[in-house]
């Protein structure tokens, strides 16, 4: 919470400095760059991905930059994984849609780790026609070229449960491996309509995205790749 307050304070003063004209209260709550985080199973908010937020927001210059957590349990058993994941899809879709409506000039970034990567993939590509391992929702995903997708500039995934081998947006030495519940069929086709916005990090040893045998690989992404991910996102933004 302190981190969040710190970031929004920094974001707000940057916004005031760069645009000193009178604005209404709602517009003054808008970041120029706004990042949505879907945390991994069992992480507290905001989770390890906060280091990617720092890497991004450290590079936006006079553009204000902040983040919000996609609200969902990120649980494994209580509630069960697919209920948790489904809540992430529902809430994340609502949060993105309402932020884009409230702040139409904001450039949006979406990031998901582990279960949260599945959430983000399902927000974009939907859960209908194929498999991502959860069948209790059959959503169709977001519509390309319409808001909020038209506001999304970059999407980063780390250790994705639904990782699919050999996609153009894969990166890391697990690129050629499938995860626990690789996305198939329409779900993969729909997600791949967003290929240009996506980058998905996976390590060969990660049991979650690559069926590897080293749990520590799954938690190593943010020590290894936060700066790379931040640089990749910054290059996708108009600053």
Binding site for ligand NAG (CB under 6 A): 54-55, 58, 135-136, 138, 165-166, 173, 176, 178, 203-205, 224
Pairing status of strand 65-69 against strand 152-158: unpaired
C-beta of 58 vs 62, nearer to ligand NAG: 58
C-beta of 156 vs 178, nearer to ligand NAG: 178
User: What is the three-state SS of 199-222?
Assistant: EEECCCCCCCCCCCCCHHHHCCHH
CB of 159 to ligand NAG, least distance (A): 12
Which residues on neighbouring strands pair with residue 171, listed in sequence order?
Answer: 201
Q: What is the DSSP letter of 21?
A: S
C-beta of 73 vs 130, nearer to ligand NAG: 130
Query: What span, in angstroms and rounded, lies between the C-alpha atoms of 55 and 69?
Result: 17
C-beta of 165 vs 180, nearer to ligand NAG: 165
CB of 185 to ligand NAG, least distance (A): 10
Output the residue with the shortest Cβ distance to ligand NAG.
Answer: 165
CB of 90 to ligand NAG, least distance (A): 13
Query: What span, in angstroms and rounded, lies between the C-alpha atoms of 95 and 88?
Result: 10
CB of 201 to ligand NAG, least distance (A): 10
Distances (CA, A) of 86 to 25, 127, 168: 33, 10, 26
CB of 209 to ligand NAG, least distance (A): 12
C-beta of 99 vs 127, nearer to ligand NAG: 127
Instruction: Decide: residue 69, CB within 10 A, 0-12 exposed, 13-18 middle, 19+ buried.
Output: buried
């Amino acid at each position: 919470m302190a981190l969040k307050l710190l970031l929004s304070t920094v974001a707000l003063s940057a916004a005031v400095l760069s645009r000193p004209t009178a604005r209404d209260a709602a517009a003054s709550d808008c970041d120029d760059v706004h990042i949505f985080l879907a945390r991994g199973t069992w992480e507290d908010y905001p989770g390890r991905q906060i280091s990617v937020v720092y890497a991004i927001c450290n590079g936006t210059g006079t553009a204000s930059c902040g983040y919000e957590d996609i609200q969902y349990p990120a649980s494994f058993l209580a509630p069960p994984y697919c209920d948790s994941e489904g809540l992430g899809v529902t809430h994340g879709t609502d949060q993105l849609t309402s932020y884009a409506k409230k702040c139409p000039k904001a450039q949006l970034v979406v990031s998901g780790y582990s279960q949260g990567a599945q959430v983000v993939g399902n927000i974009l590509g939907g859960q209908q026609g194929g498999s991502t391992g959860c069948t209790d929702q059959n959503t169709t995903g977001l519509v390309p070229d319409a808001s909020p997708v038209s506001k999304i500039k970059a999407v980063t995934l780390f250790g994705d449960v639904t990782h699919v081998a050999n996609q153009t947006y894969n990166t890391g030495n697990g690129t050629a491996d499938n995860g626990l519940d690789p996305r198939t069929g329409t779900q993969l086709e729909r997600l791949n309509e967003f290929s240009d916005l996506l980058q998905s990090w996976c390590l060969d040893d990660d049991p979650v995205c690559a069926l590897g045998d080293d749990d520590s690989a799954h938690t190593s992404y943010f020590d290894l790749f936060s700066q790379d991910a931040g640089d990749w996102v910054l290059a996708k933004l108009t600053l």
